[in-house]
A and B are shown apart, each in its own frame.
Chain A
Amino acid sequence: MKTLFAKGKPVDDKSSKVCVLFDPRDCRVVHVHGATTIRGGKQFTDAELEKDAIEHAQGFGHAVAGLKALHVPISAIRGRGAFKVNAMGTGLEVTQQAPVRASELLTKWRNENATKGKK
């Protein structure tokens, strides 16, 4: 998630909250829900955020029984890559870093396909 803009100005990260629903059996992230308050809106409570996260996860077809909620700052989901919750259940960790530019990946992809072609 990049910096959000309201009326042309960047919104302070402190205006946002994030709730991650994860499966405690393997720490896999199932749903990420964020909320941002702008221009006089009523603040979200953690309980409200969690309730909405569960409701939206269900709306997307997820089974939510047994899932746990982890509240993190917006900066925690700014990394580029695949996330999972750490073993302690206290934060997120990147399991696979995404490339900075598509060209890096395209070069690898071409090389992989060139190798396949020679087999």
Chain B
Amino acid sequence: MSDLFVANSADFWAWGGWDSPDPVTVGTPSFSWTLRWEPDSNQSTYARTSVNTVMDLGGGYVFSGIVRYVTQNADGSLTFHNVGATSPSGFFDGGVIDFIWDVAVFDLTFGWGIGSSGGFVSGTFAANINMEIWVDELGGGD
């Protein structure tokens, strides 16, 4: 049975012609957040983001996903999976993938961005983004 390991969320607002805390076109801000825990080779990890709420008063965008994750190999070496760069998903080539599912993950980075084309009030774009990591002990049955 899978357990919800980590849950987080963030409210983001953007306005002002792409120059508020929004992101991922060149010249506008972006966000990333890494979670790290003790490596466990017997653990399967599924992680994703989702968008809860969107308010669009004038045109904008939001995206979120996984930027990178790291696994520990049996010999103790690490493998960096730069999935946001190698397998970007959706319309944006800004460096995130929808979800990951792998074994022996112990370091995972979420990424997201939001942007608005207009000014404050008529142009504000707001969204709430959820971040989740689920883990499952391999061979543990249901």
- A residues apposed to B, CB below 8 Å: 1-8, 28-42, 44, 52-53, 56-57, 59-63, 80-83, 95-96, 98, 102, 105-106, 108-109, 112-113
Contacts and interface: CB of A to CB of B under 8 A. Distances in A.
- Please tell me the size bucket of the interface on B: 35 or more
B36 A37 contact: yes
Given A52-B109, A61-B94, A113-B122, A96 B24 contact: no
A61 B57 CA distance: 26
Given A6-B5, A35-B33, A59-B67, 8 more contacts: A7-B5, A31-B31, A34-B32, A35-B34, A36-B35, A38-B35, A44-B34, A108-B121
Contacts, number: 139
Interface of B: 3-11, 13, 15-16, 19-21, 23-26, 29-38, 55, 57, 67-68, 82, 84-85, 94-95, 106-107, 109, 111, 113, 120-122, 124, 126
